[in-house]
Amino acid sequence: MTASPSLVGLRDTGVWIFDLDNTLYPASCNLFAQVDRRIGEYIARHFDIPFEQARLQQKRFFREYGTTLNGLMAEHRVDPIDYMDYVHDIDVSSVQPSALLIAALDRLPGRKVIYTNGSTRHAENVAGRLGVLDRFEAIYDIVTADYRPKPDPRPYADLIARHGIDPARACMVEDIARNLAPAHALGMTTVWLRGEKDYERAGVEDGQHIDHQVDDLPRWLATVAGLEVAGLESGADGPATPL
Ligand SMILES: [Mg+2]
């Protein structure tokens, strides 16, 4: 696959900002199902209530506060670190190291940052499993964001200030389309990793804030980087093919 002119321009990107969950690894790994269950278990243990009742609490916190954690912190002063350590203590073996992703990140010029609504420990766990952790110079997590999850615009501004990012030369990649709106408003190039679920697609119809739509991130990044994709995809579990 030869990169189109619009993709060739992306090689001048100064900073790549990647979401973590369902972006750096495919949604089919289904890690969120484990996290979601651990959240229910955490609430059940914390309040000593049955799991099904905890589920209702979880849904209410999410609805009223944007995240379950914010509800727990606001109403019950739950220790956020204790909470995140518990809910992110999951089995990540469904995430497969991707030789293509590794090769693409290595070839792509520009700094790389992870921006996640999860914790740094979770990002290190998953990116380590993918084999790409040392390709990122920083992880901007929900603690650094002062517990303001995307798409709250404040942490986006903090992220670029903290890491000296020129938004005009930055590119953000996300599976949840609405999380790209604040990035676009700052002047970043935006890449939506297409999904079918309502929460992933919300806002796509007005679409002004989405510059590129992508189905397969490692393959797309490799194309942007000018890599020959054939030969790298098949050996997903093996060492990267010498370039
Ligand atoms: Mg995500």
Tell me the whole-structure pTM to 2 decimals.
Answer: 0.90
pLDDT tens digits for range 77-111: 999 999 999 999 999 999 999 999 999 999 999 99
The Cα 76–Cα 99 span in angstroms is 44
Report how far ligand 1's centroid is from the alpha carbon of 95 (Å): 14
pLDDT tens digits for range 161-219: 999 999 999 999 999 999 999 999 999 999 999 988 888 888 887 778 999 999 999 99
Q: What is the pLDDT of residue 201?
A: 86
Cβ neighbours of residue 13 closer than 8 Å, sequence gap 6 or more: 108, 109, 110, 169, 170, 171, 189
Written out in words, the top-level CATH class of the domain with range 5-25+95-225 is alpha beta
pLDDT class of 238 with cuts at 50, 70, 90: very low
Residue 187: DSSP 8-state: T
Q: Are 88 and 121 a contacting pair, CB within 8 Å? A: yes
Q: Are 166 and 189 a contacting pair, CB within 8 Å? A: no
pLDDT class of 231 with cuts at 50, 70, 90: low
Report how far ligand 1's centroid is from the alpha carbon of 48 (Å): 31
> Does residue 242 have a pLDDT over 50?
no
Q: What is the pLDDT of residue 170?
A: 98
Report how far ligand 1's centroid is from the alpha carbon of 27 (Å): 9
Q: Are 17 and 183 a contacting pair, CB within 8 Å? A: yes
The Cα 57–Cα 71 span in angstroms is 9
Q: Are 35 and 88 a contacting pair, CB within 8 Å? A: yes
DSSP H helices, 109-189, are: 120-130, 153-162, 181-185
Query: Domain 31-87, CATH 1.10.3470 — does that match?
Result: no
Give residue limits of the domains in the chain: 5-25+95-225, 31-87
Intrachain domains 5-25+95-225 and 31-87 with the same fold: no
Report how far ligand 1's centroid is from the alpha carbon of 4 (Å): 26
